[in-house]
Amino acid sequence: MGDTTLETGVLAGDGRMLIGGELQGTASGAVFDVVHPANEQVVGQAVDGTVDDMARAVEAARRAFDGTDWSRDVEFRHHCLSQLHAALENNTERLRRILVTEVGCPVTVTGSQIESPIEEVRHWAAYGRDFDYVVHTGLHDTPMGPARRQLHYEPVGVVGAITPWNVPFYLNIAETMPALMAGNTVVLKPAQLTPWSGTELGRIVAEETDIPAGVFNVVSSNANDVGAALSADPCVDMITFTGSTATGRAVLAAGAPTVKKTLLELGGKSAHVVLEDADFTSALPIAAMMACVMSGQSCVLPSRILLPRSRYDEGLEILKVSMENFPIGDPWTPGIMQGPQISEQQRQKVLELIRSGIESGARLITGGGIPENLPVGYYTEPTLLADVDPDSRVAQEEIFGPVLTVTPYDTEDEAIEIANNTIYGLSGEVSSADVDRALAVAKRIRTGNVSINAKSHFGINSPFGGTGQSGLGYRNGAEGYREYLSIKTIGLPE
């Protein structure tokens, strides 16, 4: 389970689980392989935890919440998260190499997945220390006479966090740090394809902070039923999950018998409405970059490009040139911006959806297959499909690959109708020379977040959540912190 450094720069992480304050394996000693998607080689192992291991982790979290002062001592929580921030900073390069190893994320673009989440730890530590956990609402007239009322914000209890593989370290931080700072205890189940980004966080918590035993637990596993057990456990008070809508439905159903609070960030099929007066030479190369920079493995990607018919050919040509010149290759090479898909299974899913689009009448402009110069690794060519039917599979299903679909429209109303023609509602974008016009269109798109002229809607101080089948609840901002708190209203004598 120790470090293994290869010539490529691949780094094996600490694969042990953290349960009740102890870094450990499972009773049988079982492990599963971690594969580097850029060379298809096994680069190490992680502990293959069981349902019994998950039950022990939940029990440890329950015991820590009910039997320690963690939920009541905000200054101690601030101290512990400040320690963790410093420890993560000291481990930055190790974490970066683990991320590239597990995900194939190009080292050039790891800042948003390493440095940014590390800073989020410090943000939540400060935010939680300054948060007003008791709010006085004043004097109220009641049938029983005047009464004072107080709102007490209290931690929910035991939080189970199930995270995906596309941006694993960031989401391990985003789903656990506000929960911890709010006074909850946490059980983290990292994704099967990227266990080290979770187990390494557990190691750092155990070895370099004063976070008490049981407050933070990590259970890695290659079995789906382990995550399902976390969702269903009656001792878990809340589940936070990021991943596919299909799995989100299962998480929601598993928590229903105990009426768990559930925070879901699910799939997306976002549209980019490019209005006729937009600066195509600015907007469309950025759209191509966003489709490729994480190998298309992003839930907020505006993968459906809607172009005015009057400028359709012009827009297609700009997108084609941008995608054909996008730097794809070995993620360890500086300057490379697109690496491989996470796995061969994921690559085949992407290629199958591309084929389905062509079969339904879409026109392949560029890409569509495996790069000839990258025969090893799970690489997919940046792909542009034109004349895409808004009702086709490729326009309706989340692809999670470097693929843009382009559909023409004749009127602004038609563009908005196409944009809203989806079960999802996570993100979106509008491009126009007239910001007021773009804002008017953005307000008509049924989605939780919209960017205008590539100005990002995403940030630690702003709530992020979806509509439709893209999720429930919010991350980030005041709304995101309050997700991990319950409100108790107390009536007092005058």
Task: Give the residue numbers annotated as catalytic, written as ranges.
Answer: 265
> Residue 30 burial (CB < 10 Å; 0-12/13-18/19+)?
middle
Amino acid residing at 131 = F
- What would the two tokens of residue 366 be? 């560029």
Residue that the structure tokens 């996570």 belong to: 426
The sign of the CA dihedral 311, 314, 318, 324 is positive
* CA-CA-CA-CA torsion sign (315, 328, 470, 462): negative
What type of residue is 442? A
Give strand ranges (E) for 26-120: 31-36, 41-47
Instruction: Read off the amino acid at residue 27.
Output: A
Residue in this structure with the two tokens 């392989």, named with its chain if needed = 33
| Closest alpha carbon to 100 in 18, 8, 23 | 8
Q: Are 238 and 260 in contact (CB under 8 A)?
A: yes
Cα→Cα distances 282→191, 278, 286, 432, 436, Å? 36, 9, 7, 11, 18
User: Pairing relation of β-strands 485-493 and 147-155?
Assistant: antiparallel
In degrees and rounded to multiples of 5, residue 401 shows phi and psi of -150, 175
Which residues fall within 8 angstroms of residue 7, CB to CB, at 6 or more apart? none
Q: Within its chain, how far is the Cα of 200 from the centroid?
A: 18
Q: Which residues of 260-299 are buried (b: 16+ CB within 10 A; e: fewer)?
A: bbbbbbbbbbbbbbbbeebebeebbbbbbbbbbbbbbbbb
| Among 406, 418, 458, residue whose Cα is nearest residue 287 | 406
Angle at 479 between CA 473 and CA 480, to 5 degrees: 65
d(CA 173, CA 164): 12
